[in-house]
Amino acid sequence: MPPTPQIDPTLPLDELVRRAAAAGRRGEQVRLLDALAARTRQGYDAMRVFQALAAVRPNGSRLALEYVARMPDPIPPAILLFAAQALQDRSNPVGMRLTVAGKLLAALPDTDAAVGPVVRAVTAGLSRSRTLQRMIELQSRVDRCGTLDRMVAASEQKVWLRCPKCRRQYLRPAFIRHLWDEHRLIFDRGTAVDPKPAVEQAVTGAVAATDGPATDQPFDESARYFPQSTPEQVLQAVASRQMASGHPVPDSLTRAAADQNAGLCPSCLNPVPDPIPPVPPPLAVGGGRLSGDGYAVEVIDKPTGRTVRVTTPKEGEEDVPPAFTRRFDPRAFGMLVAAPLLLAAVVAVGVLPQRFGPPVLYALLAGFAGWVVYLIARYARPPLPNPDATAVDAAWREIAPRRGAKKSAARWLTRLCRASIGRGDPTRRARELYEVVENAAVWADKGGVYLPLFAAARLLQVCDNSDMGRDRVSGLLDVFDPFFLGELPAAYAEAAAEIVTTDAVLTPADARRFAALLTSLAFDASLTPHDLIRVLRFLPYLRVLFGTPTADGLKAAYVIWRGRRSDLWAEAGHATTIFDLARTAPGACRRLLTAHPDALLRIDLPDAAVRELGEVVLTPRGVIAADKVLAEPGGEAEVVRSPRGSGWMLALGAQRINLDRKLDWNTVDTLVRWIRFRSDKLLPQAEAADRVNADRVRQVLAPLVRTCPLCHAECVCRSGRVGEPWPIT
């Protein structure tokens, strides 16, 4: 940009006036008028310049007023009268006329005779209401003018304004309050204005800005016109427009939504309630006490025996005997049995006469017999059950049968089921738990808190059965099967997944095996890898149960799952899929997945080869043998003498595997074929496995659809996250 040329300070005033009148560009004209205002401090020069500018045609009056508006205060008295006369020209801009009028009032005496003509000049031809508004605007341009203030106050008591909405009339102060209180309108320059466009304009202006006053303006405008609005709502309006340009959603919005157990609408970023209710936590258990939601079960061991104290909100405290257990622990029972002998020892010392022998001898014999009886009674008697287990059993026996179908009862029973996992006697609560499961299955149709209850009761039933010898992983698979079959909504599956994940229902090895079985179950339910990734985005706990899968890993697993019945790898050799191992060989599956979490196939090799190479598995990374990843399909394969001086070495491309015995060529050829199978079939088919079953995804996610309360858009979202518009494509 070229520099602005400087005005020669030696130019005569007449030349400056001529140039200002003839200037073709507005910027140059403004600089010349500023130069004239700066050089005309004397009254004669100011009057001469004013008259010369006013004589210019066709816009001399405007140039003269602009010249006066740029003069420093106070303006010379010589031009006061000329400027006041120019104010009457209504063809000049109102803002400029008001600015000049303000300068005149600052220079004139504060009297009616001096102020009145100036006010009449800027209000000539206006209605009474517009005259009042013009005087108020003039007030904002004068630091102090008592006469003008009195004129405004008197006019406010005479001028009635009509409401454009309800057509009622009010004096100006009452009219302004009425507009805001009744119609949420503001009075701006004599007109009732809706403030929403101003706020919207401020928000739009902040969308392109990254910092500075532009980003503060929407907050200021909202606080001014809508004091009930929160800063989060303003930030939400700005961020929702910026999101369309690729800007990230502010963390403060997602955190605020998470605090409300809500997600964010993908259109307006307004909080939308989470469609999946939170799962109640387990009841507090410890030190022989179980408590929560106003209920408590406490196990108390006294010298007289063990008792259980049950506390309920309505019935208060009640002591009940522990069922199916001895009331005395071994130590107390031993003391009770041995007490007569020990008492006899004390009596022998003080009562028996000397003629029956030394009393001390009898006391020692009685005391020895008493201790023997005590030790036999103590160690032969089984110990009392763990007090925490007793408290859990008592809760199932004394409280659970009394609860009805209310939401509070469902919440407490859910917490009891979670607290009972790994505690108590499964056989003693079997009948009560069966009734809870049956009732929860009926209540599950109501949704809400009944779905977590059904999930928790089913999981406790599976855990109890596993404690009695059944396979826990297979039982858990039955828990999730109704979700994939479409019989139960996603809220049920997510509640069950949260309990399994947070309550340590599975060991790490069993969790990997369960992930393989869940993946197979999802594929059986017509969910493709792309569909499964979309569904698991909204079910984070279920995604953890799936082993937090990646799209590439799921595509490779999908190819193996789909090809297990079509002999996809028949040319490469024999192998067992990880899905079949998970079902039929739990121990081998746990061992294999612990060593190789991404294993897809266990390759069948002769026993001699297995002794040298270990278990050989196929993964998306390559064929793993002897902890080496073999992934070069074009590499040469040979078995040579080891440079160590003894043994052999298998060379496959760049990899070298040390062997104790020489491998037969069939085994080496099998490894080569499996490497080629991975590169020629597995990876290309996995890359092409991008089929989408949109109808199936919509069927699974439909119960999670919610309507935004602000923009009424339908979306699927979860707590603390931005959702996706519905229907999902």
pLDDT band at residue 579 using 50, 70 and 90 as cut-offs: very high
Verify that 727 and 641 share a domain, yes or no: no
Does 475 reside within a domain? no
Tell which wins on pLDDT, 633 or 702: 702
State mean pLDDT over 672-687.
93
Does 370 reside within a domain? no
Does 563 reside within a domain? yes
Verify that 717 and 695 share a domain, yes or no: no
Verify that 53 and 146 share a domain, yes or no: yes
Answer for the pair 623, 675: CB distance below 8 angstroms, yes or no.
yes
pLDDT band at residue 225 using 50, 70 and 90 as cut-offs: low
Does 38 reside within a domain? yes
From 194-203, 439-448, 542-551, the region with the lowest mean pLDDT = 194-203
Verify that 617 and 719 share a domain, yes or no: no
Tell which wins on pLDDT, 129 or 319: 129
Does 361 reside within a domain? no
Contacts of 26-35 spanning 24+ positions with Cβ under 8 A: 31/4, 31/7, 32/7, 33/63, 33/66, 33/67, 33/70, 34/70, 35/7
Verify that 701 and 716 share a domain, yes or no: no
Domain count, the chain: 3
Residues in contact with 566: Cβ distance below 8 Å, sequence separation at least 6, in sequence order: none
Does 349 reside within a domain? no
Q: Is the pLDDT of residue 212 over 50?
A: no
Does 69 reside within a domain? yes
Crossing angle of the two packed helices 387-398 and 407-420, in degrees rounded to 10: 150
Q: Which DSSP helix (H) or strand (E) runs through 637?
A: strand 637-641
pLDDT score recorded for residue 340: 67
Mean pLDDT computed over every residue of the chain:
83
Domain termination site, one of 114, 129, 158: 158
Q: Is the pLDDT of residue 298 over 70?
A: yes
Percentage of the chain exceeding pLDDT 90: 34
Verify that 656 and 723 share a domain, yes or no: no
- How many Å separate Cα 280 from the centre of its chain? 18
Q: Is the pLDDT of residue 607 over 60?
A: yes
Domain termination site, one of 158, 176, 203: 158
Verify that 719 and 599 share a domain, yes or no: no
State mean pLDDT over 628-642.
83
Over the stretch 258-294, which tens digit does the pLDDT of each residue have?
999 999 998 888 899 999 989 999 999 998 999 998 8
Domain termination site, one of 102, 127, 158: 158
Tell which wins on pLDDT, 404 or 612: 612
Verify that 22 and 150 share a domain, yes or no: yes
Verify that 137 and 258 share a domain, yes or no: no
Q: Is the pLDDT of residue 587 over 80?
A: yes
Verify that 721 and 625 share a domain, yes or no: no
| Distance from C-alpha of 601 to C-alpha of 624, rounded to nearest angstrom | 10
272: β partners: 263
Verify that 643 and 604 share a domain, yes or no: yes
Q: Which DSSP helix (H) or strand (E) runs through 162?
A: strand 160-162
Please give the model's pTM, rounded to 2 decimal places.
0.70
| Distance from C-alpha of 319 to C-alpha of 99, rounded to nearest angstrom | 90
Answer for the pair 235, 262: CB distance below 8 angstroms, yes or no.
no
Residue indicated by tokens 């809500």:
262
From 241-255, 373-387, 648-662, the region with the lowest mean pLDDT = 373-387
pLDDT score recorded for residue 65: 83
Verify that 614 and 720 share a domain, yes or no: no
Tell which wins on pLDDT, 233 or 156: 156
Does 685 reside within a domain? yes
**Residue 29 domain boundaries:** 13-158
